[in-house]
Structure 1
C-alpha cells in the first residue's frame, strides 16, 4: 500500500466493525477495504454501497464474478482478476474453463445469455460512450430485464472505478488470491505484476 491506512489496532467505530466483520468472514482484512481508510470517512460509505448493491443485485453471484473478471481484464486490474478468477474456479470447476473465458468469452462454450452479458460488460469497461440502444436490444432479446441490464452496467462500471483506485493507492492481492499455478497466475496478470 502506498498510502498510510488505518491498522487493525488503530481501528475504531464503524471501521473497527467493518474490519472485524471481514476478518470473521475471510480471516483477514482485504487491502481493497483497508485502502479506503486513507480517507477514513470513505470506508463506511464504500462498504454500505457495495453491500446494498450486492444485496439487491438481480443476477447471480456467478454473473457478478464473470462481469467483474471481464471488466477487470480491460481496466486492466491484476488484483481484481486474481480475486475473481480464483472465485470463478469454484463456479466453473476448473482453471482451464476460467482461462478460456478470460481469453475469449465468445468462444468459451458459454450460453448466448452469458456472451451477451459479457459483451455488454466489456463495452462498458472499454468505452461506455460507444453503447447504443442496439446493445440494450441484444440484451433484452436473450432475456435480460432493464433491471438486469442496469445491474450489469453497474457491476462493470463499479469495477472500473474501484480497480483503478486500488492500483492508484497501491492495494494489492492478499496471498490467498495469488495462485500457485504459474500459468494461471500469468494469464490473469493483466496489469501490475505481483
Structure 2
C-alpha cells in the first residue's frame, strides 16, 4: 500500500476532482494509480496526453499488444490487469487469453509477435538492444514511424509501471474482468492466484 496521501472522491477538488470524474465515467471506478498520480495532476495530464498521442498514431490494437508485452517484461501486475481489461475493446476475450498466456503461440501475425518481442526486450534488457532489434521490425514490414511508435509505447509503459511499483500503488482488479482472463494475465508473472488485487 502506498504511503502517498490521496483524496477520496468526496474530498477531491479542482483538477483532481475532474480527473476522478473522468475515470469514474470511463472506467466505472477511480483506480488506485489515478488517486496517487493525481497528487501531481499536471504530470498526470501530461502522461495521459503522451499516451493518447502514441496510441492515436499506432492504432489501439497495436498499442495494447505492445503495452501488454512491456508490462510482462517489467512484471507489472497493475498494467497487465488494467490493459488486459482495456484490450477487450479491441481483442476478443478468447484470443486475449491466448495472448496473455503466450503471445508467441496465440496465432498472432509475425509482425505482431515481433513488436511484442521488441517491447518485452526493451522492458527487460534495453541496454542489450542493437540495430538488429529495430531491423527485425523493419523486416516484418514496419516503417520508421511505426518502429518509433513501438519504442515509444513500450518505453512509456516502463515509465508508468515503474512509478507505480516505486510508490507501492495498490493493484486494482478492474470490475467485470473474468477470472479466466485475470489468471491468464498474471500467470506469466508467476501470480496466478485467484485473489483480487
**Residue number in structure 1 paired with 2:16:** 15
The C-alpha deviation readout for 1:29-79, integer Å capped at 9, x for no partner, is: 221211114xx2x23212223223313542111111111111111211122
Which blocks of at least 5 consecutive residues in structure 1 are unaligned?
none
- TM-score w.r.t. length of structure 1: 0.84
| Runs of 4+ off more than 6 Å | none
* Secondary structure, counterpart of 2:41 in structure 1: helix
List aligned pairs for 1:11-90, cutoff 5 A: 11-37=12-38, 40=39, 42-57=40-55, 58-90=57-89
Deviation of 1:166 (Å): 1.9
- In structure 2, relative to structure 1, the CA distance for the partners of 1:87 and 1:20 (3 Å cut) is closer
1:5-46 Cα distance to aligned partner (Å, 9 max, x none) = 122233222222222222222232221211114xx2x23212
Shift of 1:191: 6.2
- Structure 2 counterpart SS, 1:64: helix
Alpha carbons 1:5, 1:34 under 8 Å: kept: yes
> RMSD of the TM alignment (CA)?
2.2
* Secondary structure class of the residue paired with 2:29: coil
- Deviation track 1:92-127 (CA, whole Å, cap 9, x = no partner) reads 3233x2232223322221112111111111111111
Matches within 5 A, 1:123-134: 123-134=121-132
| Cross-structure match for 1:118 | 116
Aligned residues between the structures:
188
| 1:163 matched to 2:158 | no
* Pair 1:2 & 2:8 matched: no
Give me the whole-angstrom Cα distance separating, in 2, the residues matched to 1:29 and 1:167.
18
Decide whether the 8 Å contact of 1:78 with 1:191 is kept in 2: no
Q: 1:89 to 1:52 in 2, by over 3 A?
A: closer
